[in-house]
Amino acid sequence: MTVILRSLETAVPDTIMVQPQVRDVFAAQPGLTRLAQRLVGAAFDSSGIETRYTAVKELTLEATSDDPVFFDQKELRILTPSTKTRNAVYAEEGTKLFIEAARKALDAAPGIEAADITHVVTASCTGFFAPGPDYKVVRALDLDPSVQRYHLGFMGCYAAFPALRSAKAFCDADPDAVVLVIAAELCSLHVRSSNNPDTIVGSSLFADGAAAAIVSARDIPLDGPALSLDHFETVLTPVGEEAMAWNIGDEGFEMVLGTYVPHIIDEHIVGALEPLLARDASLKGLDYSEIEHWAIHPGGRSILDKVEAKLGLSPEQLVPARETLRNYGNMSSATVLFVLKAILDQPASEGNNRICSMAFGPGLTVETALLTRIGASAAVSEARTAGVSDDADAAVPEDLEPILSQAGA
């Protein structure tokens, strides 16, 4: 039985943040040291990002507010609302993103109706409320009130993989299952001005967005490209527990993004891939570059640089990840689904159509997935013969370079 990701759609808020404009605002905040001002400029300029999206409508230079909460546009001051205030925006605006992405994914799945959905799996780490986004989606899309709901909270950037792995498990257990998976993040809710290098780097990278997928093993014809969900693996690196974390503070959530994160990934990425690739005998002995597609979570430009160099991948194989970073920034758990969407949207090739995907998060956790890009014609039979093995089931001063490594400098 082959479990297929039948549709994958994305959604972003309306407000666009242009990276040079945001950089200038952050660099002009009162209380910054000269070192922090230089770090702001270097972090934003080296991020590999041109535009990002935010659900915080105040975070723009084009509008004004008589009673600003997040950003005083007249004074160009970044304000410090409480965690409660930020979370209230998450509950309102995050719900909209969850529902929009879910509706688009359902509309894009031929042969699947709202009444067919048996499970809803949501993932997010940028806010909390109950009844949560899983409940809101069921109500908004008029799903069966008996649909099974699961929310994966506060995992961080890798959460899309546990969500998809859960969907696959549900479909493996029940061939009639149809699972709606949604990852949505409002990272921009938690931006703040600070002299702390971790906070500055986070402010240069994070953004808002959502992605949703329909997953099922039902034998329904496809009318476009889809993904066979072949294998998933999880690896915890032996070091890095303190290098990447996501904590709750009084004025929003606080990112810990240690300077050594890209080096940890560089040192342990090969070992993290071994259990995944061992699941498919057809990949034994192949160079990494011989796997056609690589969907890497673009946590930052330097992480993509490390992955490309360590695995000997071509620049073309990292284009979907780099373009996602450039156009959308780091949207935490939703980001790798944007990368997979970019691969699905590419013209069909005559290559092997295998996809190796990776995401990194607190712990340091490395989640990996092996997938196969399939088309509308004989989709299920193609997936079954794709090699899946059933029995293996700006110039930066030297003193700033270590601080900037995780931002891509």
In degrees rounded to 5, what are phi and psi of residue 203? -65, -25
Tokens describing residue 117? 């959905």
Catalytic residue, candidates 125, 157, 171, 356: 157
Here the contacts of 131-139 (C-beta below 8 Å, separation 24 or greater) are: 133/94, 133/95, 133/98, 133/182, 133/184, 136/95, 136/98, 136/99, 137/98, 137/99, 137/102, 137/180, 137/182
175 C-beta neighbours (distance < 10 Å), count: 12
Using only C-alpha atoms, the chain has a radius of gyration, in whole angstroms, of 21
Helix and strand tally (H, E) in the chain?
A: 13, 15
In degrees rounded to 5, what are phi and psi of residue 214? -105, 125
At 51, which helix (H) or strand (E)? strand 51-54
Residue that has been written with the tokens 């922090």 in this structure: 36
How many angstroms separate the CA atoms of 272 and 282, rounded?
A: 19
**Residue 92 to residues 61, 132, 133, 160, Cα–Cα distance (Å):** 23, 11, 10, 22
How many angstroms separate the CA atoms of 27 and 38, rounded?
A: 8
How many angstroms separate the CA atoms of 98 and 211, rounded?
A: 8
Strand partners, 249: 252
Question: DSSP string covering 278-311, please?
Answer: TT-GGGTT--GGGSSEEEE--S-HHHHHHHHHHH
Q: Regarding beta strands 71-72 and 77-78, do their DSSP bridges make them parallel or antiparallel, or are they unpaired?
A: antiparallel
Tokens describing residue 10? 């994305």
Asked if residues 101 and 211 have their Cβ atoms less than 8 Å apart, the reply is yes
157 as an active site residue: the answer is yes
How many angstroms separate the CA atoms of 237 and 107, rounded?
A: 39
Look up residue 182 and give its amino acid: I
Query: What amino acid positions are annotated as catalytic residues?
Result: 157
